[in-house]
Amino acid sequence: MLIGLSLLLLVFTTGFEQYDCAAICFSCTEMLEDDKCQHITTCQDNEVCFIQKYRTADNRRLYDVGCTHNQLCPVNSTAVAFGRRTVDHSHIMCHECCDGNVCNSAFTCDDHVKPKLLDCLSCGGAVDVQNCSTSTTCEKDEVCFIQKYRTSANKELFDLGCKRSTMCLNRNPSNTFGRRTEEERHLLCEFCCTEGSLCNRNLDCGHTQNTYPSECADISFQKDGVYNVYPNGASYPKPAYCVIRNGIKWTIIHRRYDGSVDFNRTWEEYKQGFGNVTGEYWLGNEAIHLISTSGKHKLHIDLELRDGRQFYADYSLFKLNSESSQYLLNVTGYNGTAGDGMDKGAPEWWKSNGARFSTRDRGTDQNCAINGAGGWWYVACSISNLNGNFTKEYGILQLWNINHVADAGVRLSEMMITKY
Which of 134-143, 256-265, 266-275, 337-346 has the highest mean predicted lDDT (pLDDT)?
Answer: 266-275
Instruction: Verify that 262 and 301 share a domain, yes or no.
Output: yes
Q: Any residues with CB less than 8 A from the CB of 57 and at least 6 apart, and which? A: 88, 89, 90
Arithmetic mean of pLDDT, 205-215:
61
Query: Which among 72, 66, 1, 69 is positioned nearest to 30, based on CA atoms?
Result: 1
In a domain, residue 315? The reply is: yes
The DSSP bridge pattern shows strands 310-320 and 329-336 to be antiparallel
- Residue 252: predicted pLDDT: 98
In a domain, residue 324? The reply is: yes
Confidence of residue 14 (pLDDT cuts 50, 70, 90): very low
Query: Which among 126, 117, 114, 132 is positioned nearest to 162, based on CA atoms?
Result: 117
What does the pLDDT look like over 70-123, one tens digit per residue?
777 764 444 334 334 444 556 677 788 887 788 887 656 654 434 467 888 899
Confidence of residue 4 (pLDDT cuts 50, 70, 90): very low
- Residue 328: predicted pLDDT: 95
Instruction: Verify that 226 and 92 share a domain, yes or no.
Output: no
Q: Is 29 exposed, middle or buried (0-12, 13-18, 19+ CB in 10 A)?
A: middle
- Residue 225: predicted pLDDT: 93
**The total number of structural domains that make up the chain:** 3
In a domain, residue 47? The reply is: yes
Lowest mean pLDDT among 31-35, 201-205, 318-322, 377-381: 201-205
Helix H segments across 120-183? 173-176
Instruction: Verify that 355 and 400 share a domain, yes or no.
Output: yes
Whether 292 has a pLDDT exceeding 90, the answer reads yes
Which of 162-166, 232-236, 354-358 has the highest mean predicted lDDT (pLDDT)?
Answer: 354-358
DSSP 175-229: HHTTEE-TT--EEEEEEEE-SSTTGGGS------GGGS--SGGGS--SS-EEEEE
Instruction: Verify that 130 and 269 share a domain, yes or no.
Output: no
Say which residue, 71 or 211, is predicted with more confidence: 71
- Residue 140: predicted pLDDT: 76
Number of other residues whose CB lies within 10 A of the CB of residue 318: 26
Confidence of residue 179 (pLDDT cuts 50, 70, 90): very low
Domain limit, last residue, from 190, 208, 226: 208
- Residue 177: predicted pLDDT: 40
- Residue 408: predicted pLDDT: 59
In a domain, residue 251? The reply is: yes
Phi, psi of 59 (to 5 degrees): 70, 25
Arithmetic mean of pLDDT, 368-397:
77
Instruction: Verify that 259 and 221 share a domain, yes or no.
Output: yes
Lowest mean pLDDT among 191-200, 213-222, 387-396: 387-396
Instruction: Verify that 101 and 125 share a domain, yes or no.
Output: no
- Residue 170: predicted pLDDT: 53
Domain limit, last residue, from 161, 176, 208: 208
Please tell me the distance from the alpha carbon of residue 373 to that of residue 367, in angstroms, as a whole number: 10
In a domain, residue 30? The reply is: yes
Range of the domain at 66: 2-105
- Residue 194: predicted pLDDT: 79
- Residue 116: predicted pLDDT: 62
- Residue 158's Cβ-side half-sphere holds a number of Cα atoms within 13 Å equal to 22
In a domain, residue 110? The reply is: no
Which residue(s) pair with 405 in the sheet? 402
Please tell me the distance from the alpha carbon of residue 101 to that of residue 22, in angstroms, as a whole number: 9
The domain spanning residue 348 has which CATH number? 3.90.215.10
Please tell me the distance from the alpha carbon of residue 372 to that of residue 147, in angstroms, as a whole number: 50
Instruction: Verify that 190 and 220 share a domain, yes or no.
Output: no
In a domain, residue 112? The reply is: no
- As a whole number, the mean pLDDT across the chain is 78
What does the pLDDT look like over 350-363, one tens digit per residue?
688 889 999 999 98
Whether 45 has a pLDDT exceeding 60, the answer reads yes
Is-contact 368 389, C-beta < 8 A? no
379-413 as b/e, with b when 16 or more CB fall inside 10 Å?
bebbbbbbbbbbeeeeebbbbbbbeeeeebbbbbb
Query: Which among 234, 365, 381, 384 is positioned nearest to 299, based on CA atoms?
Result: 384
Say which residue, 369 or 12, is predicted with more confidence: 369
Please tell me the distance from the alpha carbon of residue 256 to that of residue 282, in angstroms, as a whole number: 9
The domain spanning residue 74 has which CATH number? 2.10.60
Say which residue, 224 or 71, is predicted with more confidence: 224
Arithmetic mean of pLDDT, 35-57:
84
Whether 317 has a pLDDT exceeding 90, the answer reads yes
Arithmetic mean of pLDDT, 398-407:
57
CA distances from 19 to 12, 49, 97, 234 (A): 18, 12, 13, 45
Query: Which among 327, 330, 331 is positioned nearest to 340, based on CA atoms?
Result: 331
Instruction: Verify that 323 and 230 share a domain, yes or no.
Output: yes
Instruction: Verify that 40 and 101 share a domain, yes or no.
Output: yes
Whether 176 has a pLDDT exceeding 80, the answer reads no
Is-contact 17 46, C-beta < 8 A? no
In a domain, residue 351? The reply is: yes
Instruction: Verify that 127 and 238 share a domain, yes or no.
Output: no
Is-contact 36 135, C-beta < 8 A? no
Arithmetic mean of pLDDT, 25-30:
89
CA distances from 133 to 3, 52, 128, 201, 208 (A): 23, 22, 11, 10, 28
Instruction: Verify that 257 and 283 share a domain, yes or no.
Output: yes
Is-contact 28 77, C-beta < 8 A? no
Is-contact 373 264, C-beta < 8 A? yes
Provide the whole-model pTM: 0.53
Whether 18 has a pLDDT exceeding 60, the answer reads no
Say which residue, 181 or 195, is predicted with more confidence: 195
Please tell me the distance from the alpha carbon of residue 1 to that of residue 97, in angstroms, as a whole number: 18
Lowest mean pLDDT among 29-33, 171-175, 300-304, 399-403: 171-175
Instruction: Verify that 149 and 266 share a domain, yes or no.
Output: no
- Residue 175: predicted pLDDT: 37
Query: Which among 382, 414, 375 is positioned nearest to 399, based on CA atoms?
Result: 382
